[in-house]
Amino acid sequence: MRVLVTGGAGYIGSHVCLSLYSAGHDVLILDNFSNARRDIGERIQQIAGVRPRIVEGDIRDEHLLRSVLHDFEPDAVMHFAAMKAVGESSVIPLEYHDVNVGGTIRLLKAMQAYRCRKLVFSSSATVYGQAGTCPVNESAPVSAANPYGRTKLFCEQIISDTRMADPELQAISLRYFNPVGAHHSGLIGETPQGIPNNLVPYISQVAAGIRSQLSVYGGDYATADGTGVRDYIHVCDLADAHLRALQMLPDLSDLEALNLGTGRGHSVLEVIRAFAKVSGRQIPYQIVARREGDAAQSWADTSLARKRLGWVAQHSLQRMCEDAWRWQLALAQTEGTAN
């Protein structure tokens, strides 16, 4: 199958590309490298033995999208290209809506023009907002609490409307919880721009001596140790789920979205202890005031993905931390980002 992967040079997209190559698919990456490494092509080649084809460009460039669809003639699109920082989305909401929602609309128009009828969309559990009960299943109310989450929700709704108007379109939105970890080779992983927005990359940088300590937002939640609980999922498990969703799209016509998580929550302090154990480093932290809008706990009900995709996350929290630390050490060797 010929697969166009938008945002395929980024953290999750690059891992999905590896899964696509291993399954024998023909892949074309479209990425503007705003949040991706310039050497990702060489790194993918080292792992997969295939030199990826990459087109550099913006998902909002309708002329470019049509040119790519015309020349490559993909059988399917996997759509990751987006801005993704929750905090930043509240500062520059118009940019988030322009890129995430506007880019998706332009992509769907180009797909229609060139009769590409398969789409796997990278969504997010942020569409649920502060879910009232856990585990969170796909029928839970959607009430995104920030502009980023709302862009993902709007995109899901636009895709749903497009499916209603065009029954030939096969599409699924994958709502993942908290992606962490890196490829076991240590060659690709998450490379935050500036201060990390997510817990595990921040912990990695504290362990590496790049940052002095971690701020833990809230120590008085109604959880076992008072800190927030989240469902952390290894990025390679996510990649496997995306591949399965692509292969099974014709059998998912009655669904609009699937949760991807482990089905188990871990507190911030649990993650800190796990990372300290695998790295052999102390993780200094300070408990500070809660952040407005943060839920006490959130983890996925993954029973639908297990039933419909035959998929279950395989990696433990320890393995997630091991692979994240291996990636951080690899960065230190190549870029001197450690003490």
* CATH number, position 92: 3.40.50.720
The structure tokens 């962490």 sit at 180
Q: How many domains are there within the chain?
A: 1
Range of the domain at 8: 2-180+233-260
Q: Which of 246-255, 258-267, 292-301 has the lowest mean pLDDT?
A: 292-301
The confidence score (pLDDT) of residue 335 equals 77
Residue 93 lies in a domain: yes
170-229 pLDDT, tens digit per residue, is 999 999 999 999 999 999 999 998 899 899 999 999 999 999 999 999 999 999 999 999
Residue 212 lies in a domain: no
What is the overall mean pLDDT for the chain? 96
Which of the residues 11, 96, 148, 202 is marked catalytic? 148
Give 104-116 pLDDT, tens digit per residue: 999 999 999 999 9
Residue 162 within any structural domain of the chain: yes
Angle at 338 between CA 337 and CA 339, to 5 degrees: 140
Is the omega angle on the peptide bond into residue 135 within 30 degrees of 0, that is, cis?
yes
Q: Does residue 137 carry a pLDDT above 80?
A: yes
Residue 281 lies in a domain: no
In this predicted structure, what is the pLDDT of residue 328? 98
Q: 148 an active-site residue?
A: yes
User: CA separation (Å) from 250 to 112, 119, 141, 176?
Assistant: 18, 11, 26, 21
Q: How sure is the predictor about 294, in pLDDT bands with cuts at 50, 70 and 90?
A: confident
* pLDDT greater than 80 at residue 338: no
Q: Among 4-18, 46-60, 235-249, 285-299, where is mean pLDDT lowest?
A: 285-299
- Model pLDDT, residue 334: 82
